[in-house]
Structure 1
C-alpha cells in the first residue's frame, strides 16, 4: 500500500433528497466546506440530480442547485474520483420521489484514517459497520425520558 492509501479513512456516501416543494437554501454548504477545510472529510464525488415526473433522472448544474449561494459549492465543481458511476446514480434514484432533487455525496472520513491504518497494521479488520438513523435515536431517548 502506498503511504496515502495506507492512511485512507472509511468512505461513506449520502443521498440527500429535497422533495417537491422544499427549497434548497444552501444553508448546509458552508458547513460542508468547513468540514473539508478542517480536514475532517474529503469530498470524493458530489453530484446533483432531479427525478422527473416520468421517472427519468437528469443531472443538475450548480446554479440550479444553489441559486445565489453557488460560490460555496463551486469549490467542489468537478469533484469526481470515479467511484460514483451511472449504475450508482440509477440505484440512488430509485429511492427518490418523482419531482424531487437530490445531492449524492461520496466522502472520506479523513479524521479516521490514522486510526484505521493503526488498526490494520495491528491485524484488525472491519467485519461490520452501519448507522443508527437519527429518528431511532430520538425515539429511544424520548422513550427513556418518559420512563424516568
Structure 2
C-alpha cells in the first residue's frame, strides 16, 4: 500500500450542494469523462442531506432523485468508495449545507499531477500549503481592478 501511495498524485475533495435532493445529472457525464481520460481517479463519492432540524444523513445513490432530461444514471458511481470518508467527515460536510439540501462529497486523486508529485517526493519536497481561489473571487478582483482603472 505504501508503494501505491508514493505513486499517487495529489488528493483533493469537493463538497457540492444541491437544492433539495434533485440532481440534474448534467455534471456527472463530465466527471466520468475526467476519469475515462485518466485525469482523475475517484476515491470516494458520497451523498448527504441536511434535514430541517440540522440532522445530517447519508444518502444511498439509488435513493437520489434525478431530473430525466440528459441525466446519467448515478448507478455508475455505485461502489466508488475507498472508505476514506467516515461519519465525522459526512457530518462536517453537512454543516456547510442549508437545511433541506443535499450534497455530493467527492474525494479524488489528481492523476495528471502524479508524475510531478512523484518527482517532488523523490527530491525530498513536501506540500506545506494548498488552496483554491473561487472563480467568483477572481471575477470580483478583476471587476474591482477594472473599476479602478476607469476612474
Fold equivalence (TM over 0.5): yes
Q: Whose strand proportion is higher, 1 or 2?
A: 2
Checking the alignment, whether the CA contact within 8 Å between 2:29 and 2:72 is kept in structure 1 is: no
Aligned to 1:40: 39
Number of corresponding residues: 145
The residue correspondences of 1:113-128 to structure 2 (distance < 5 A) are: 113-128=114-129
Paired residues of 2:14 and 2:107 also in contact (CA < 8 A): yes
1:53 touches 1:98 (CA, 8 Å); kept in 2?
A: yes
Whether contact under 8 Å (1:44, 1:106) holds in the other structure is yes
1:18 aligns with 2:18: yes
Matched residue SS, 1:97: coil
**1:93-147 per-position Cα deviation (integer Å, ceiling 9, x unaligned):** 1111111111111111111111000011112111111111221111111122332
**1:39-71 per-position Cα deviation (integer Å, ceiling 9, x unaligned):** 111111101111111111222232424354352
- What is the alpha-carbon root mean square deviation over aligned residues? 1.8
Provide the C-alpha distance between the structure 2 equivalents of 1:142 and 1:39, rounded to a whole number of angstroms. 36
Q: Give the SS at the match of 1:14.
A: strand
Q: For each residue in 1:1-53, what CA deviation from the matched residue of structure 2 results, as whole angstroms up to 9, or x when unmatched?
A: 41x32220111111111134x84211101110001110111111101111111
CA distance in 2, matches of 1:16, 1:26: 13
Q: Is the 8 A contact 2:22 2:65 kept in 1?
A: no
TM-score by length of 1: 0.88
The answer for unaligned runs of 5 or more in structure 2 is: none
